[in-house]
Chain A
Amino acid sequence: MSSSTIQTRQRLVLFAIENVAWPLFIIIYLILGFIKPIMFSPTYFLYILYLTIPLGFAIIAQAICLIGGVLDLSIGSIVGFSAMLSGLILKEYSNLIPSSLSLLLPLLIGILCGMFNGFFIGFFRLSPFIVTLATMMVFQGLKIIISGGFTIPAGYLPELYLLPGSDLTISITSFIVISAAVWFFLKYTRKGIHIYVIGGDQNVAYMMGIDPRWMLFLIFALSGLFSGVSALFYTGFNRSVPITLGNEILFPSFAAAIIGGISLRGGRGSIINAVGGALLLGVIEAFLVTFAISPEARIVGYGFMVLIAILFNQFRESLRDSILRRI
């Protein structure tokens, strides 16, 4: 009887360790709430959620890559580039494109950018680090060139195009639905599980008849797709496409995915927890904004946050291993 109680307790501890992003989110929210009681109001909570969503999609993109054992440095650039290109196309040709289809435009551009990465990484076996470092600069530069140095204001964009990102209810609902769909895809479909397999060991995957080339291509295409979704929601959220869009996404995308327990070694982690990591980051961000911390200081903060997240994750993984070994 006592051994089963120990087992139950161990399982509870294990559950807490695996999903630590959520309790951490709640604890930090409470602490910050006591400092600034306005944070406890439901509207404020929804507002934080809403603030986090555009970044949340980029975090989903990074999480998929990390589960697949690769990393994507170009996510922020793809977000900025697809928001800008899509905005410009709509500005010039809005009369030719039905506004319902306009919603798909940034997704399409994002997915093409991701496929470009995936093509070189999958089929030429180039290092994801180098390829995405290169395309990070390519897409960043292209974004600035095509923009001509100007922000695209809301007046040039169809109202329906701005709706998902600017409406709180639609924004939150689509984020929940899309996160759930990605979670389901990764855990309950063959292709999804194969992303975990590729993240575990590409050679084993090959030996077992799973083609790493196509899987890597798929992983980066998905990363591009969700970067495109992020672009759509950023555009609506800002009600414009500023030239700086996407510049501050890369680091938080890593930080949230790692805080959410997605191992840098690949093959481990859950999207649900990456979303928890995103919310945690959102609370901290909102707090920094309300306390009027300068953007420069926030960048320093993000740098340390990534470092702390990696250390934290390493500690968490070894703790988890030591419990699992005993069960």
Chain B
Amino acid sequence: MKTSNEQRIGETPLLELRNIHKFYGKIHALKGVDFRIYEGEIVGLIGDNGAGKSTLVKIIAGVVNRDEGEIYYKGKKIDIRTVKDARRLGIEIAFQEMTLIDSLDVGLNIFLGRELVNTSFPFILDYKTMYTKSREILNNLGLKVADNPRREVRFLSGGERQGIVVARSMLFKSKLVILDEPTRNLSVAGVRMVLDFIRSLKKEAIACIFISHTLHHVYDVADRIVLLSRGEKLLDVPKQNYTLEELENMILQTTFSSRSFYE
């Protein structure tokens, strides 16, 4: 296994996972994966379908439970068993397809599960503030749907749907944002918007895991590239030391050698 790590000497990672295993029935989806991310760091997580990318981030987000392994948050051993656990730690998932309710409107979708309540009557929903904040944040993202936060989400385009997910992570100032293919279905302007958003996270010391099929999309913004293949971490390298071509070659080599190992 070819691994070289960016050392942030003397710094404790924001989140560290050690020796994570996950089985789905007989399928060994993660085979002892180590993963860590520092404050304000952008990690590009890449790999083919079925490589274990989404299983890994789902474990971090509390959607899926690991079978083995430890999780450390700022050096302290912790447990993430539910989405609520993860949110308490400031971990925000932004899975496009899996986190929207089609029959509800834009405003409610942005605040899904964290609806705002009236300050004097804390059991009553505060629609007014929710719609105002939705309008603001969608306006900042340059989305037309900002005009109408009461529109049902199923009538939105792919880019607008993505915008809602991005808006969510901007609104709830998180410590760690997980973006699953955030540039998929987006126009050129939309892609630029998302990449700008990821950079702005960095400025606020928010860490980000950026999942993609291909290196091209993550190379621009990532500090570090992690490659998963068939449940194993094959590569974990700081981007700054390599050009895009060198990285591509490394990916080809490692995946090729691991494939030949199996075949």
Contacts and interface: CB of A to CB of B under 8 A. Distances in A.
Interface in A181-208: 187-190, 193-194, 196-197, 199-201, 203-208
B87 A193 contact: no
Given A190-B117, A196-B104, A200-B101, A209 B82 contact: yes
Given A197-B104, A204-B100, A204-B112, 9 more contacts: A188-B125, A188-B127, A190-B115, A190-B117, A197-B101, A201-B102, A207-B93, A207-B95, A325-B155
Nearest to A197: B101
Contacts of A263: 103
B84 A209 contact: yes
Most chain A CB within 10 A, of B93, B95, B113, B155, is at B113
A176 B87 CA distance: 40
A204 B101 contact: yes
A325 B156 CA distance: 9
Interface in B64-108: 82-84, 87, 93, 95, 98-104, 108
Contacts of A194: 113
Given A196-B103, A200-B103, A207 B98 contact: yes
A207 B61 CA distance: 9
A187 B82 CA distance: 27
A286 interface: no
A133 to B, nearest CB: 26
A268 interface: yes
A188 B128 CA distance: 12
A206 B63 contact: yes
A193 B108 contact: yes
30 contacts: A188-B125, A189-B123, A190-B125, A193-B108, A193-B115, A193-B125, A194-B113, A196-B103, A197-B101, A197-B112, A200-B102, A200-B103, A200-B104, A201-B101, A203-B98, A204-B101, A205-B101, A206-B83, A207-B61, A207-B83, A208-B99, A209-B84, A210-B112, A210-B113, A263-B103, A265-B103, A267-B101, A267-B103, A324-B152, A325-B155
Nearest to B93: A207
A266 B114 CA distance: 21
Given A204-B98, A204-B100, A209 B87 contact: yes
A207 B63 contact: yes
A101 B99 CA distance: 45
B124 interface: yes
Nearest to B117: A190
Contacts of A200: 101-104
A131 to B, nearest CB: 24
Interface of B: 61, 63, 82-84, 87, 93, 95, 98-104, 108, 112-115, 117, 123-125, 127, 151-152, 155
Nearest to B116: A190
Contacts of B83: 206-209
A189 B124 contact: yes
Nearest to A267: B103
Contacts of A325: 155
Contacts of B127: 188
Contact of A204 (B99, B108, B117): B99
A189 B61 CA distance: 26
Contacts of A190: 115, 117, 123, 125
Contacts of A268: 103
A319 to B, nearest CB: 15
In order of increasing CB-CB distance, the 10 nearest A-B pairs are A208-B113, A200-B101, A267-B103, A209-B83, A209-B113, A208-B112, A200-B103, A209-B84, A188-B125, A190-B115
A265 B102 CA distance: 12
B202 to A, nearest CB: 25
Contact of B125 (A189, A197, A210, A266): A189
Contacts of B123: 189-190
